[in-house]
Amino acid sequence: MGIHAENLYKHYNIGGQTVRALDGVSLDIADGEYVTIVGASGSGKSTLMNILGCLDSPSAGRYFLDEREVGGLSDGELSEIRSRRIGFIFQSFNLIAGLSALENVELPLLYRRIPKKQRGDIALEALESVGLSDRALHRPSELSGGQQQRVAIARAIAADPQMILADEPCGNLDSKSGAEVLDILNALNKSGKTIVMITHNEDTARKAERLVRISDGRILN
């Protein structure tokens, strides 16, 4: 799943002042590439990720997914892209506390109206791929931080998306758990998925094939 972002701007008006979260960002990511976007807090990296994930739209500029301009798509078409073609991984895991690991992974499949038996089989396979099939019936509170993030990854890949967007996926993890998550992302990339990871951590950033630096809403390299 290839990305072409052309002269993106994102401005917010806060307290009568204009904040330039993105200030003319252009970026190309090839299908199957593994790219890290690295920058300090407030650099614009999360704003950029939200636009790349079709969660937000730019104030100006053009964004294409597989040569299709996103700006001209309806809300329904954008929702379809998010549910079928993009998997999201967040720093805070975003798991539902009252559901088991298996039920959390099933959620995106439920929204796609996949039958219950098939949902369970797909979700269990996704958990197995991240080494957690034996924790399928455990709730998030019964799992370590690293295990919770692996459940979140299983949820992201259950619908077999073409692209994974990971926002600080190791931010709340110890070094060992973080390394395990990065190994999984690397394996997903080798299986053909496009990986875009957002981080402020230089060591984490260097795990990708290509590193893109952002500061004050502008790409530096």
Residue 194 clears pLDDT 90, i.e. is over it:
yes
Q: Note the pLDDT of residue 103.
A: 95
Residue 221 clears pLDDT 80, i.e. is over it:
no
Residue 110 clears pLDDT 90, i.e. is over it:
no
Cα–Cα distance for residue pair 58/60, rounded to 1 Å = 5
Q: Note the pLDDT of residue 102.
A: 96
Cα–Cα distance for residue pair 209/21, rounded to 1 Å = 26
Phi first, then psi, for residue 207 (nearest 5°) are: -75, -15
Cα–Cα distance for residue pair 12/205, rounded to 1 Å = 28
Q: Average of pLDDT values for 103-115?
A: 88
Mean pLDDT for the chain overall:
92
In Å, the largest CA–CA distance within the chain is: 53
- Please report which confidence band the pLDDT of residue 124 belongs to, taking 50, 70 and 90 as the band edges: very high
What DSSP character marks residue 137? T
pLDDT digit string, tens, across residues 25-66: 999 999 999 999 999 988 999 999 999 999 999 999 999 998
Q: What is the pTM of this model?
A: 0.90
Number of H helices and E strands in the chain, helices first, is 7, 10
Q: Note the pLDDT of residue 186.
A: 94
Q: Average of pLDDT values for 86-100?
A: 92
Q: Average of pLDDT values for 193-200?
A: 94
pLDDT digit string, tens, across residues 171-182: 888 899 999 989
